[in-house]
Amino acid sequence: MREAEVQRYVIENVEEVFPGMSIVGIEELLLERYRVDLHLRDDEGVDVFIEIVTGKITEKKAGQILNYYSILANMDPPLKKFRFIVLGEDISENARNILENFGVEVMLLKGLSIDEQKVRRHFRRKGLKNVLTAGESDLLSHVKASKCSLVDSKKVQDYLNVKAGYASKILERLDQKGYLERIIRGKYLFIPLEYGYEERYPPMNSLVVGSVLTTPYYYGYQTANNYHGFTPQFSPKTYICTVKPRRSFRWRNTSYKFVTLVDDKFFGFTKAEADGCKIYVAGPEKAVLDSLDKPNYCGGVSRVIYVVSNALSSDVDRDKLLLYADRMGSNSVLQ
């Protein structure tokens, strides 16, 4: 079996293969050194990293895997708790002992009832349901060329010169065929054609998805801090600041927390880009002040201190920082 096939099979059957876990990321680049195959999180909030290996795991391969484990174990700030699982076809006894002595968990595909026949059968069942009409194919090529993976009825109407009702039907068909995935009513995420014919899975960019959930909005708190590089800490939620109350939202395995701000505090954000799509995120100065204003959305006071220290050592505009603090009128921020 190819690693890509196993990875896609696990992704599409994650609740069966790893009960109680949800997907956080796919092929995440950690510390610019290690691209982990799968990043999951269990019901207790523990991060679980999966390394998929096809073929036999030898002592040499075990050494390489330990290098990956070392990167995870030395994250800054450190992960409070995590699991590292190697999912493979076969492993030598010495390699298993080496890995398990360092706390790396080893799971074999056969122990999870996964074999080549089962994986192939899974993808064959998805078969010809994905066949595109000429118009659908043309539309998807246009969406791909536009760089932004978001698709809505207006984009279809404008490009194909069709009415709103028919545009909605086209979107629904492409969703059923696996080329789009519905986010909310009328808003879809494009699954790139190069992801394969039978094995596509939507890209996991929480900032792109969150940009269509409400308006006006901007990304703030822990999400903005991570965006600006003030903290590398993983957050189980994506924080969206808005002026209208909205219930929390979950798309696939990403949670969105909406924080309602009074008009006096809804400012200081800037236009940015995520995977070719326009998004709004708190500027560096506003990200710092929002964190001071509501530290519980940033990991607590100790984490906010870390954020402020990193921000002040970067190119944050201190004059703008003071101006924004005065404008917010918050005693805790001014102090």
Predicted pLDDT at 278: 95
**Three-state secondary structure call for residue 38:** strand
Predicted pLDDT at 266: 97
Predicted pLDDT at 332: 59
**Run of H or E including 60:** helix 59-73
Q: By C-alpha distance, which of 162, 289, 152 is closest to 218?
A: 289
Average pLDDT by consecutive 10-residue portion of the chain (335 residues)?
80 88 82 83 91 92 94 85 94 96 95 86 64 84 90 94 90 86 91 54 77 97 94 85 95 89 96 93 96 93 91 89 87 60
- Domains of the chain with CATH codes: 3-126 (3.40.1350.10), 131-195 (1.10.10.10), 206-334 (no CATH)
Instruction: Give per-residue burial for 200-218: e unless 16+ CB within 10 Å, then b.
Output: bbbbbbbbbbbbbbbeebb
For residue range 49-74, what is the model confidence (pLDDT) as tens digits? 999 998 899 999 999 999 999 999 88
For residue range 148-194, what is the model confidence (pLDDT) as tens digits? 989 999 999 999 998 898 899 999 989 878 788 899 999 999 987 65
Tell me how crowded residue 264 is: count the other CB atoms within 10 A of its CB: 10
**pTM of the complete model:** 0.62
- DSSP per position, 163-223: -HHHHHHHHHHHHHTTSEEEEETTEEEE--GGG-SS-------HHHHHTTSSSSEEE-HHH
Predicted pLDDT at 177: 80
Predicted pLDDT at 34: 82
Predicted pLDDT at 223: 95
- Write out the E strands in 46-163: 47-57, 82-91, 105-108, 150-152
Predicted pLDDT at 197: 44
Token pair belonging to 239: 């924080």
Predicted pLDDT at 330: 64
Residue 141, beta-bridge partner list: none
Residue 273, beta-bridge partner list: 278
Token pair belonging to 328: 């917010």
Predicted pLDDT at 170: 92
